[in-house]
Structure 1
Amino acid sequence: MSDSDSETAQVPSEPDSDSETPPENSKAAQWFREEEDFTIYGVPPEIFERDRKAYQPKAVCIGPFFREWRHRGHLEVMQQYKWECTKRLMPKKDTREKCLTEMKELEASVRQKYSEKFPKIISDDFARMLMLDGCFLLHLLRRYAPGPEEPKSGHKEAKLLVGRMQIWELVRYDLLLLQNQIPFCVIQRLHEFLYPDDSNTNLVDCAINFFSSLRPCRKLKQSRFYIQVKDVHHLLHLIYSSLLPCPKYGTSSSGPKSSRRWIPSATELQLAGMNFKRRESANGFLSFLDVKFSDGVMEIPKIKVHDYSTTFFRNLIAWEQCFPRTECHVTAYAFFMNFLINTEKDMRLLHLKEILIDLTTVDKDKGATHFFSRLCNEVGNNKNYLGKLFSDVMDYHDTPLNKWRAELNEKYFKSPLTIISLTAGAIALPLSVASNIKNIFF
């Protein structure tokens, strides 16, 4: 792929219509596809053009989509570091040669997982790319194996990356770009090749720990994450799956299909008598997707919007738009929040309820108030796990009493001056009546 090619999105091919349906007895199976289907896609052009930088790496290139970017100035240092990781894991040349053979055995199946063919990348280069990228990720994830000690960056990393001490935060988000992935089976194969006797290290746990600053969901006292290593397609898929309501521990607002596809803004709903409340975790598990509505109270888990949130959410949504068997939960959530937040007043309401926290420092004028509206541009929303919630909210809003309450609040209690005038009038009226009675009888 040339530099000019990398500036354009890759259009995914049609999925295999004959793929086998996941086992019905596996509740998590609906989030996973069979191995012969594409799992790593180019971002669709209409989505890519809305915000190109959100889908392009800033610190490290992984996989074939950005292969030609690897030696660009701002990415070169991490490319050198990949060699350091590979040599550290495999000090002997003959071990590296055996590893290349292992990667060549995987090449055919790995290529099938990409929506592009990459014919210009010859077999040797493709295998070498898998080895370098895989060793980099394996070395990184193993440092985050669960244990009493905190992960250590190591002296060589500090020397190599001097002047860019915050690079690991950039790396975290780069590793969650849709086009910046290699199949998770490559990392697992390398782990089995290099550590054949290590049955204690679970790479899913390591990855969850590495991305802990993004708060992927897990039950607090759960030693192993509920997704098995063999079911993980790549790192973005893993973190996406960890954010979904846990089949065993979580609850969902999903329900019967509904034609409701819109709800009023937060301030309008408040005028109709609805209360907003930050939803707290139950049994140690809570996803920001777990929105709840009952008896006039909307409970929404807290979510923080910061400078990298756009990249994170855009790639989650791009994954949903490409992967045919997702329920598009993040997309539906973005539309839900976009409906609630139309103005600064809506944003202020959710902020005061400690639901939406704006931590953006760049483009502050385009912060959390317009965050979700930008995410919804050029994005389809045919599936909505919040359909039942939308119906319940509109049923509540459209009752005669609540509609009258909303109209009354809008007309008479929206402005503080109007409230003061009405209060003064309410006080003055009985005084005036009393005065008139006094004049009549006395």
Structure 2
Amino acid sequence: MDPLVNELKRKLDSLKSSMAQLEEDSPPGIMVAKVGHLTRNVRNGEYDPDHVSIGPYNYHWQIPTQQDKLRSLAVVLSAAEEPSMTVEVYLKELAFLEDKARSYYANTFDGITKHQFVHMLLLDGCYILSRFASFPAKHTAHVAGAARSSAFAASLEDLAVVRDVFFLAENQIPFFVLEKIGELTVSDGKALVGRCIADHALELMKAQRYAVAAPAMVPPELTAPENLLHLLHMHLKPQETDVLLPGRGATGTGNGAADKTVSSVGRWRTATEYSYAGVEFRSQEMSEKGGVRCILDVKLDSGGGTLVVPRLDIDNETWRLLRNLMGLEQRNREAVGSHVTAYCIFMSQLASDRKDVEMLSKRGVIVHAHGNDGEVAQHFADLCKGITFDKSDPNINYLWDTRQKLDKRSRSYRRRWMAWLRRKYFSNPWLAVGLLAAAIGLVCELVQAVYSALSYKQA
């Protein structure tokens, strides 16, 4: 037994040393991790790149060809202000960041050598910057075909690049790598890279109608992204979500939800079920100055009878983006919260049937280009499969209070009866007139019966 005891003690000492080292190194708040198998298996293809592989998780894919990435390197080198900025200088500077860059991944990638890892960071970083950053190129005649401006979104190839580079949780490199390459290239390169990519991300979110502003990118709370998917995630934060801040305990103040006694919260009811309880659905356009700034800004009016849901424009990439954002949150809940996951669970249960999608489409809450409403409903039904989320915890579910109020309303027999009456008789004006006439006739008959009874009694 002694050898076994000594071996376990040695491994425990090594583990303690490793944990102490991690604490000293202050590991990043946001990790790039593989999407869980239960989630990935639902729609496996929505997590894999089709046009460009970025980072170590997809290192083996080698798409596009190395020749394409080499042309991007040439574009960046041609824009360098200092002639001394050669390939060797870039590689040497990135080699100093290798350990830090590796720490941003949940995997160790022992099969990728130091040389290969640095080589990958340089080529992938230059590929991204050649697409999304506007360097003032000095002598690019021989590589002009490789340079792209920020107005590139017209071609299908460029749309595929946007999807692969921005949307995929596993297809990422740390943002500081891009900043370092920019810093080596031009004097204000770090700021230039941050500004160009942030502007492009904002335009992307506006074009897709997901958000109109990014509060985390606005001073005085200027926060740099950890990677490009995180940059998109920073645009999707519902207003008035103090209880959702990372690290907030159940005793926080915020909007009051966390101070209430936490009770179990079941699934959301469908849109049709809420309609039967008298809940109206209303769509609202987003505005930087208005009360709706992103698709997560779901609001219940003070009377509890109208649910305002920002319009969601759905195409094939909507599901990919939402799934990968949830993947980011699943691994980094303490750092980024669970806002997108809470929203996706809400929408997936609200619109899980064809009739629900049809109703929400008529109200302008959902706009889609799919073949039929049933196809959209199936996408919603599959959206959150394999996702881990405690919807009963108000500290991570920003819609907890809304869910409680709607549930209370749905269990009210009086409200359900009134909603049924309005739906059956008052939705058609002629039926309403007929019902009113019948009511008046009934009242007249009652009055006549009373007078007849009184007359008979007096006689």
TM-score for the superposition, normalised by structure 1: 0.75
User: What residue ranges of structure 1 are gaps of 5+ in the alignment?
Assistant: 1-14, 21-32, 146-152, 159-163, 438-442
Amino acid across the alignment from 1:323: N
* Equivalent of 1:76 in 52, 56, 64: 64
Deviations along 1:338-391, one digit per CA (max 9) or x if unpaired, are: 222232222122112211111236xx5763222222111111121311001111
Deviations along 1:74-93, one digit per CA (max 9) or x if unpaired, are: x335x432211111211479
Deviations along 1:7-55, one digit per CA (max 9) or x if unpaired, are: xxxxxxxx979988xxxxxxxxxxxx96445611011111111111010
Please state if 1:375 is matched with 2:344: no
Cα separation, partners in 2 of 1:307 and 1:300, compared to 1, 3 Å: same
* Alignment partner, residue 60 of structure 1: 52
CA shift for structure 1 position 274: 1.6
- Rounded to whole Å, the distance in 1 between the matches of 2:112 and 2:340 is 34
For the 8 Å contact 2:205–2:211, the answer to whether it is kept is no
* Alignment partner, residue 217 of structure 1: 211
Please state if 1:359 is matched with 2:369: yes
- Rounded to whole Å, the distance in 1 between the matches of 2:217 and 2:28 is 31
Amino acid across the alignment from 2:322: F
* Equivalent of 1:173 in 159, 163, 166: 163
Cα separation, partners in 2 of 1:198 and 1:94, compared to 1, 3 Å: closer
* Alignment partner, residue 256 of structure 1: 257
CA shift for structure 1 position 157: 5.7
- Please give the residue correspondences for 1:190-339 in structure 2 after superposition, counting only pairs within 5 Å: 190-198=181-189, 201=192, 203-210=194-201, 212-215=203-206, 217-219=211-213, 228=222, 231-245=224-238, 255-257=256-258, 258-259=262-263, 260-280=265-285, 281=287, 283=289, 286-294=293-301, 295=303, 296-325=305-334, 326-339=336-349
* Alignment partner, residue 357 of structure 2: 347
Q: 3-state DSSP class of the match of 1:69?
A: coil
* Alignment partner, residue 23 of structure 1: none
For the 8 Å contact 1:278–1:299, the answer to whether it is kept is yes
Cα separation, partners in 2 of 1:192 and 1:35, compared to 1, 3 Å: farther
- Rounded to whole Å, the distance in 2 between the matches of 1:18 and 1:370 is 47
CA shift for structure 1 position 395: 2.2
For the 8 Å contact 1:38–1:115, the answer to whether it is kept is no
* Alignment partner, residue 11 of structure 1: none
CA shift for structure 1 position 303: 0.8
Amino acid across the alignment from 1:289: L
Cα separation, partners in 2 of 1:322 and 1:85, compared to 1, 3 Å: same
CA shift for structure 1 position 425: 8.2
Which has the larger displacement, 294-303 or 92-101?
A: 92-101
- Rounded to whole Å, the distance in 2 between the matches of 1:355 and 1:336 is 13
CA shift for structure 1 position 256: 0.9
CA shift for structure 1 position 421: 8.8
- Rounded to whole Å, the distance in 1 between the matches of 2:19 and 2:228 is 23
* Alignment partner, residue 74 of structure 2: 87
For the 8 Å contact 1:254–1:387, the answer to whether it is kept is no
CA shift for structure 1 position 141: 2.2
How big is the alpha-carbon RMSD for the aligned residues of Structure 1 and Structure 2? 4.0
Amino acid across the alignment from 1:245: P
Cα separation, partners in 2 of 1:338 and 1:409, compared to 1, 3 Å: farther
Please state if 1:109 is matched with 2:100: yes
Amino acid across the alignment from 2:157: I
Cα separation, partners in 2 of 1:414 and 1:345, compared to 1, 3 Å: farther
| Percent of paired sites with the same residue | 24
For the 8 Å contact 1:254–1:388, the answer to whether it is kept is no
- Rounded to whole Å, the distance in 1 between the matches of 2:417 and 2:59 is 61
Please state if 1:39 is matched with 2:34: no
For the 8 Å contact 2:282–2:363, the answer to whether it is kept is yes
Q: Where is the helix percentage greater, Structure 1 or Structure 2?
A: 2
Q: 3-state DSSP class of the match of 1:299?
A: strand
Deviations along 1:109-140, one digit per CA (max 9) or x if unpaired, are: 11111111111111111111000111112222
- Rounded to whole Å, the distance in 2 between the matches of 1:227 and 1:166 is 36
Amino acid across the alignment from 2:289: N
CA shift for structure 1 position 261: 3.4
Amino acid across the alignment from 1:64: P
CA shift for structure 1 position 309: 1.2
- Rounded to whole Å, the distance in 2 between the matches of 1:50 and 1:191 is 38
Q: 3-state DSSP class of the match of 1:367?
A: helix
- Rounded to whole Å, the distance in 1 between the matches of 2:39 and 2:117 is 28
For the 8 Å contact 1:271–1:405, the answer to whether it is kept is no
For the 8 Å contact 2:215–2:234, the answer to whether it is kept is no
Deviations along 1:58-104, one digit per CA (max 9) or x if unpaired, are: 1100001111111xxxx335x43221111121147961111000111
CA shift for structure 1 position 156: 3.9
Please state if 1:97 is matched with 2:88: yes
Amino acid across the alignment from 1:130: L
For the 8 Å contact 1:334–1:376, the answer to whether it is kept is yes
* Alignment partner, residue 26 of structure 1: none
CA shift for structure 1 position 228: 3.7
CA shift for structure 1 position 211: 5.6
Cα separation, partners in 2 of 1:320 and 1:17, compared to 1, 3 Å: farther
For the 8 Å contact 2:237–2:296, the answer to whether it is kept is yes
Q: 3-state DSSP class of the match of 2:308?
A: strand
For the 8 Å contact 2:241–2:398, the answer to whether it is kept is no
Cα separation, partners in 2 of 1:80 and 1:291, compared to 1, 3 Å: same
Which has the larger displacement, 391-400 or 370-379?
A: 391-400
For the 8 Å contact 2:183–2:190, the answer to whether it is kept is no
Cα separation, partners in 2 of 1:182 and 1:247, compared to 1, 3 Å: farther
Amino acid across the alignment from 1:256: A
Cα separation, partners in 2 of 1:427 and 1:45, compared to 1, 3 Å: same
Q: 3-state DSSP class of the match of 2:53?
A: coil
